[in-house]
Structure 1
């Protein structure tokens, strides 16, 4: 039963990571407010996964400091990769004035390096903790990597959006009231 659960978790993780990376490589509009929904959902799943992972460890022995430090380091690495990936995403203004985004080959390379870093760190965490805390942190890792990436891409997109020209806007106080 334990082996089946492990394989199911691995398949689910591969599917989620594949969908996230695939989405990054598609041309799509940069939304002003919607790009943080997926990181938020992944963050909730990540927090639950970490909580259950820690609960499974402390059921059998105390959690030491090293796995906690490694977990925090892993999440910091995720944020760093997210900021680096944001610089590789192509952002441009489309034909109707919308702002578009699309990941590049460098984005894909950074995703692969990021996932490799997570696998290495999660194995180290699990080795020191004696259970699946590192493995359970995948969703949190994705959330913390995607959050800064999306915020930085949205910031770059904001610079491309046409800003209202204050000089050409009518002054609301200058309208003559008609009776």
Structure 2
């Protein structure tokens, strides 16, 4: 007979995967629309994701340490994951079209390559998240790092896009 902890862990993983797919899907959908590149608007979602990311990381760390001490490997993997998020955000920023429209100002629109890089980013986060959770031996630190991952990736992308827009 399975114990309740294993059942809950499986349910948390499935719910986290569904939530991740929904969030990434909404972000990709937003990226593919032609929309104004606003001075401060492009940082609203990264800031929101950062707040949620800090809460998620705190919850994830607590989920590990209630079982046993947190070791170095999950922290190193988490750091690598967040560095990869920044790198993929920088790569995505180069694939977004940025142009000036006389009536609407500076516009931006993601491309098929942008979508491919978002899907790659989601797959990388999922894989590294599973590795983090395996290395931690307990808890859901990898899964709960999603918002921090999105904050860093989207924040990097949007800051670099703002730089490109300023050059127009």
Q: TM-score, normalised by structure 1?
A: 0.85
Change (3 A) 1:125 1:5: closer
1:135 corresponds in structure 2 to 143
Quote the offset at 1:6 in angstroms.
Answer: 3.8
1: distance between equivalents of 2:146 and 2:104? 37
2: distance between equivalents of 1:67 and 1:5? 19
2: distance between equivalents of 1:38 and 1:67? 27
- What secondary structure does 2:14 align onto? helix
Quote the offset at 1:97 in angstroms.
Answer: 5.7
Which structure would you say has the larger RCO, counting Cα contacts within 8 Å and 6 or more residues apart? 2
Q: Does 1:151 align with 2:159?
A: yes
Structure with max Cα Rg = 1
How many residues were matched structurally?
160
Determine which of 72, 75, 91 is the counterpart of 1:68: 75
Quote the offset at 1:5 in angstroms.
Answer: 4.0
CA RMSD of aligned residues (A): 1.3
1: distance between equivalents of 2:93 and 2:126? 21
2:109 corresponds in structure 1 to 102
Q: Where does 1:1-179 land on structure 2 (aligned, <5 Å)?
A: 2=8, 3-96=10-103, 98-130=105-137, 131-160=139-168
- What secondary structure does 1:88 align onto? coil
Quote the offset at 1:96 in angstroms.
Answer: 1.4
2: distance between equivalents of 1:144 and 1:103? 18
Q: TM-score, normalised by structure 2?
A: 0.90
